[in-house]
Structure 1
Amino acid sequence: MEGQNKQPLNNPAPREHSQFALLGSRRFAPFFWTQFLGAFNDNVFKNSLMAMVTFGLLSSGLDLNLMNNLGALLFILPFFLFSALAGQLADKYEKSHLIRYVKLLEIVIMILGSACFLMGYTWGLMLLLFLMGTQSAFFGPAKYSIIPQHLRSDELVGGNALVEMGTFLAILLGTITAGLFAISDQGPEIIGAIIIAIALLGYITSRKIPSAPSLGNDIKINFNPFTETWRTVAFSRTNKPVFLAIMAISWFWFLGAAYLTQLYGFTRLNLGGDQSVVTVLLATFSIGIALGSLLCERLSGHKVELGLVPFGSIGLTIFGLDLYFHPLIAAGTELINAQTFISQAGAWRVIADFALIGIFGGFYIVPLYAMVQERSEEAHRSRTIAAINIMNALFMVLSAATAFVLLGIFDWSIPEFFALLAVLNALVVIYIYTVIPEFAMRFLIWMITHTIYRVTHTDLHKIPQEGPCVLVCNHVSFMDALIIGGACRRPVRFVMFKPIFNIPVLNFIFRTGKAIPIDSKKADPEAYEMAFQRISEELRDGQVVCIFPEGKLTTTGEMDTFRNGVSKILESDAVPVIPMALRGLWGSFFSHKGSPALTRMPRRFWSRVELIAGDQVQPMDASPEYLQERVLSLRGDIR
């Protein structure tokens, strides 16, 4: 049935699909349009309110800057107060029904909002802004925790990419819609009609979302927002990699809030541009994030690829710094429009900076959300997402406070503030990657397998999605383990010859990936016995172990005789064996063709390499001779 989210072991080969195919699936499409319409409505309402206050169509009696900050506070405050409760409810109750109740609340809010727009009731609109934040706070945990219940593991990155794309395009379209209609002659009537219509449409789409059952029916709801908020954040800290991913996500929202908040001032003071220039840069930034999010699936090979996170963070720092070193200086007192701005020398560099900050932001954020969804405990997933919302809100407040202090009190320029953000980004991510070296390890693997080689893979779905197994593969080059590890969706524990394990730089990758060094029983009996003990421990822990039964790299391009290591492993742990073959590595810089590996200049880059998996072999049939025959048949004549 389409709503099922679990696949059987050794499921049929998944079709190579575009993430856009999800938009035609009932498992995802109704949810996508529900969240898109909600984000669009939020931004139409918020930006229309601020535009009407700014241009005097609504009166509050307060300073304009104070009203803007008060509006931001009223929208963010509910995330502190209600995210923890929302996480409990989303873990306790069926999520599709919960989403429908939230959308019904949106309809009520928008009907009241329409009435307040028509009557010019400013403080009523401010109260409704708080209620909109409340509605968003209750939607968030269900929104992100329902995705892994309806999508397969190979669809998780694509689904999150579409959600991030939809969110930022909704922000852009909502802002543009408000700008077009809010201050027109019939602004209150038009905006009122739009927000009610969108709320109704959002509820209609929510009714098509498939059921997402709860696993936490025994949860006792704690209505105290302070104690439960503290407990929610504390619980998220028990899983260190997930918590650091949460902090990395919140840091991105710190950056995003800073860029978007200062965009107006940067445009007016440093670029000499009017509202149309702001719209161009906002569109560039939003489309950049949407594009970067969509590219994630292609670059990650349909799996959660943490190597893209450091790649994204590097781009955020480089192009953030470029805004400082090459800003346009406002000339004259009259503000220029978008057409005049684009014709100026250097304008496209600024546009490119905002576009690339957005694109690399997409690379950064999508794998992190997918990682949290994949690695958080299913029964606590919504509360983990609630922790993200709480921390995001906190970091956005800190972002506003930092900007207020540096720009307002210490009189920094906005380009100087952008430069500080870029430097802080480098420091924050270096700390995260130092504490959790898996990010840096996956980045090195991703860079190697996407620059030196073009890696394609066939039938890797034959590797079980869960449970222990042993992979056996021919051994052609020093890159074999990195290519296999980069292609497989599950973490792989590699058993490798100790001298290869100790190669500088690669050793960091191997250690971080929990590779198991081994030597011959004669050369190092202690390492030999320790390796088999580690292998048994990993298999009993349900992990995937990969062994190269030849015991060394080929020196002729032909496969050497498979040794008895596999038999020794299976004597202790009778697990399935999956034969695999690498094709196309012979003759590369890291192989022994013509001369020892690493001793000659590289002759080729981005060469095509293929990894093929065969059918499962039961342990009683997995003799070294039979496995060698299977691997050889998979490899064929391509060495």
Structure 2
Amino acid sequence: MSDHSQFSLLKARRFLPFFLTQAMGAFNDNAFRNAMVVLVGFHMGLDESAVGFYSNIAPALFILPFFLFSASAGQIAEKFEKARTIRYIKIFEIAAMLLAAVGFYLHSIPLLLSVLFLMGLHSTMFGPIKYAILPQSLRNDELVGGNALVETGTSLAILIGLTIGGSLMEVSPYGETLASLMLIGVSVFGYLSSRAIPIAPATAPQLRFNWNVFSETWRALGFVRKNRTVFLSVLGISWFWFFGGVFTAQLPNYTKLFLGGTGQVETLVLTLFSIGVGAGSLLCERLSGHKVEIGLVPFGSIGLTLFGLDVYFAHPERSLLHDLNAWSFLAAPGSWRLALDFTLIGVFAGFYIVPLFALVQSRAEKSELSRVIAGNNIINALFIVASAVAGILAQKFGLSIPQLFLGTAILNALVAIYIYTLVPEFLMRFLSWILVSTLYRIQPEGLENIPEEGPALLVCNHVSFMDALIVGGLVRRPVRFVMYYKIFNIPLLSFIFRTARAIPIASSKEDPAMLTRAMDEIDAALAAGDLVCIFPEGALTGDGQIQPFRSGLERILARRPVPVVPLALRGLWGSIFSRRDSALGRSRLPRRFRARIGLAAGLPIAAEQANAAMLEQQVRDLRGTNA
């Protein structure tokens, strides 16, 4: 696994043109919507009821294409080459922006609402390609960084689009002209950047296109449900849209009534949230070590709940101040606490959403990924509608906006607990990530040698009680560990090992029945295409040196010939979790806190060539002198 920065992708042709294209599309979506809101709400002389009607119908028109055409968009993304499809979508966007210019000039609300529907269709068609093209363009160790940059770029493009779209429309008497020129110019730039996107071949060119929207929509949802982890990840993503939808929909009235602010304060809060999302998204790569680390998802959900709760406690009552601009708001008592809350909600939203998208991309079938994303978009749209309904019901039952935020934050905690109960892997990875990241600084080497799919046997030296957590935390695929039953039963760690479906084992002298069960379970796991990791020394080292490998691994390979990948842990001897202290009769005290350790992987070895002595030497060579 190479040590690289996610920002290096911005210099790569396989990423930069796509990044610019999708950012320009997100910018135009939001710039047009806000320009239309300002025009209809403030410059056409409509009464309050008319403005309210158009304000309510506009979001519905934008989201309607997601219900109608997401399934078809998924089919198109699978069947045709993606770069060319993106160019067609960008040409469609240019045409829509030309119609928008006519609508602005004529002050035609029906035409502008039609364009809004077309821009919803534009986003619907682009969505499945947006996330399906990344695994084709990026290496696996770049996937988290690529998603982080896309989320950051999208978040900032939305913010800048909203700000510029509304601001240009306020420039009298040239607002309509300036907004039109900007929208057309950005759409043309998006098309030009799309022409530089490298070819991304169709993943299912033989797919028979289904024109029945209803049956194909149900089929797209079936692709999502096919893999349980993917399905629950999609539900997690959709829940984020519900959570964010509740907060953003109430923001105008919240800033006016409870913060005493003007539109500047609303823009400030959106800016802080967007900056937070960008920062959290970019930090994901650093915290996860270039891999899909789903342990960040519970971390993100905890932050969303805590700072969502604090928004309520920071300002539960209506403000006695009025018409504060951004600077006046920041000077008011308690404002910095709220500013920090909204920023950190954004940061933890980044921790939450980026690994979920990367997990869907890595776990879904490559030939079905676009249709999985299409199904994800349909479910997202349902949750966005549900967030609007929740706001309406809260108002009907007399809940204040801070009370609605409080209820949403509490509900977020309950939803998180429910999802992590259904898929304990999330919580298990969170606990292992916290433990390992707190105690060590890890340098991986050669982990790209571990097969991306199919069965393989990993063999590793055994230095400490943390070995399985370290290996499991660094290897991108889920690993089934075979471990001595007394280690398997260590409190707290036992939950992690059971959740990871580790296989407890004992010697033939201690428990021959357990040994037989373990060998059968190892064989079944390999037959199912899993990665299985064993520690062939049979026990933790007592002196820091690698002990002779036992012949049990040869029995495993004789029964199920699979590739073998040697692994070597470096630098763990002497840590609190090794046997060094107990062997020397010293107390187990924390030593070498945040120590630098390493995990190295060698090239796969065919089962026919592998034996205990040869693999022992391979592991010795990989470890070197750093015990």
When the two structures are superposed, what TM-score results if normalisation uses the length of structure 2?
0.96
1:542 aligns with 2:529: yes
Counterpart contact for 1:55–1:183, Cα < 8 Å: no
Q: Which of 18, 22, 32 is the equivalent residue of 2:9?
A: 22
The Cα of 1:401 is off from its aligned counterpart by 0.8
Q: Which of 37, 54, 59 is the equivalent residue of 1:72?
A: 59
The Cα of 1:622 is off from its aligned counterpart by 3.2
Deviates more, 1:220-229 or 1:138-147: 220-229
1:180 aligns with 2:167: yes
- What whole-Å deviation, never above 9, does each CA across 1:5-61 have from its counterpart, x for those lacking one? xxxxxxxxx532211111221211111111100000011100000011221346488
Counterpart contact for 1:307–1:441, Cα < 8 Å: yes
Give distance in 2, aligned partners of 1:273 and 1:544: 56
- What whole-Å deviation, never above 9, does each CA across 1:91-121 have from its counterpart, x for those lacking one? 2222222211111111111001011101211
Q: Which residue in the other structure is 2:420 paired with? A: 433
Counterpart contact for 1:315–1:360, Cα < 8 Å: yes
Q: Which of 172, 180, 183 is the equivalent residue of 1:195?
A: 183
Q: Which residue in the other structure is 1:629 paired with? A: 617
Secondary structure, counterpart of 1:610 in structure 2? strand
Counterpart contact for 1:26–1:210, Cα < 8 Å: yes
Q: Which of 268, 279, 284 is the equivalent residue of 1:296?
A: 284
Q: Which residue in the other structure is 1:230 paired with? A: 218
Give distance in 2, aligned partners of 1:515 and 1:623: 23
Q: Which residue in the other structure is 1:49 paired with? A: 36
Q: Which of 490, 493, 502 is the equivalent residue of 2:489?
A: 502
Give distance in 2, aligned partners of 1:561 and 1:91: 51
Give distance in 2, aligned partners of 1:258 and 1:547: 48
**Residues 1:467 and 1:221: Cα distance change in structure 2 (over 3 Å):** closer
Deviates more, 1:475-484 or 1:566-575: 566-575
The Cα of 1:135 is off from its aligned counterpart by 1.5
Counterpart contact for 1:57–1:183, Cα < 8 Å: no
Give distance in 2, aligned partners of 1:334 and 1:363: 35
Structure 1 residue ranges (4+ consecutive) displaced by more than 6 angstroms after TM superposition: 596-599
- What whole-Å deviation, never above 9, does each CA across 1:545-594 have from its counterpart, x for those lacking one? 21111111122223322211222222223333332222222232222222
The Cα of 1:541 is off from its aligned counterpart by 3.1
The Cα of 1:620 is off from its aligned counterpart by 4.4
Q: Which residue in the other structure is 1:384 paired with? A: 372
The Cα of 1:304 is off from its aligned counterpart by 1.1
Counterpart contact for 2:80–2:205, Cα < 8 Å: yes
**Residues 1:245 and 1:598: Cα distance change in structure 2 (over 3 Å):** farther
1:99 aligns with 2:86: yes
Report how many residues are paired: 625
Q: Which residue in the other structure is 1:335 paired with? A: 323
The Cα of 1:463 is off from its aligned counterpart by 2.3
Deviates more, 1:598-607 or 1:248-257: 598-607
**Residues 1:275 and 1:61: Cα distance change in structure 2 (over 3 Å):** closer
Secondary structure, counterpart of 1:213 in structure 2? coil
**Residues 1:220 and 1:574: Cα distance change in structure 2 (over 3 Å):** closer
Secondary structure, counterpart of 1:104 in structure 2? helix
**Residues 1:60 and 1:324: Cα distance change in structure 2 (over 3 Å):** closer
Give distance in 2, aligned partners of 1:227 and 1:637: 62
Give distance in 1, aligned partners of 2:303 and 2:397: 28
Give distance in 2, aligned partners of 1:482 and 1:324: 38
**Residues 1:240 and 1:464: Cα distance change in structure 2 (over 3 Å):** closer
Q: Which residue in the other structure is 1:282 paired with? A: 270
The Cα of 1:601 is off from its aligned counterpart by 4.3
Structure 1: which amino acid aligns with 2:498?
A: R
Structure 2: which amino acid aligns with 1:460?
A: L
When the two structures are superposed, what TM-score results if normalisation uses the length of structure 1?
0.94
Counterpart contact for 1:589–1:598, Cα < 8 Å: no
Q: Which residue in the other structure is 2:68 paired with? A: 81
Secondary structure, counterpart of 2:626 in structure 1? coil
Secondary structure, counterpart of 2:567 in structure 1? strand
Give distance in 2, aligned partners of 1:624 and 1:93: 49
Q: Which of 223, 238, 249 is the equivalent residue of 1:261?
A: 249
1:394 aligns with 2:382: yes
Counterpart contact for 2:223–2:368, Cα < 8 Å: no
- What whole-Å deviation, never above 9, does each CA across 1:123-174 have from its counterpart, x for those lacking one? 2101111111112111111221111111111111111111111111111000
Q: Gapped runs of 5+ residues in structure 1?
A: 1-13
Q: Which of 206, 211, 228 is the equivalent residue of 2:199?
A: 211
- What whole-Å deviation, never above 9, does each CA across 1:408-452 have from its counterpart, x for those lacking one? 211211111111111111111111111111111111111111112
Counterpart contact for 1:52–1:58, Cα < 8 Å: no
Counterpart contact for 1:58–1:121, Cα < 8 Å: no
The Cα of 1:359 is off from its aligned counterpart by 0.7
Give distance in 2, aligned partners of 1:315 and 1:121: 44
Deviates more, 1:128-137 or 1:226-235: 226-235
**Residues 1:99 and 1:349: Cα distance change in structure 2 (over 3 Å):** same
Counterpart contact for 2:35–2:165, Cα < 8 Å: yes
Give distance in 1, aligned partners of 2:220 and 2:602: 44
Matches within 5 A, 1:306-321: 306-321=294-309
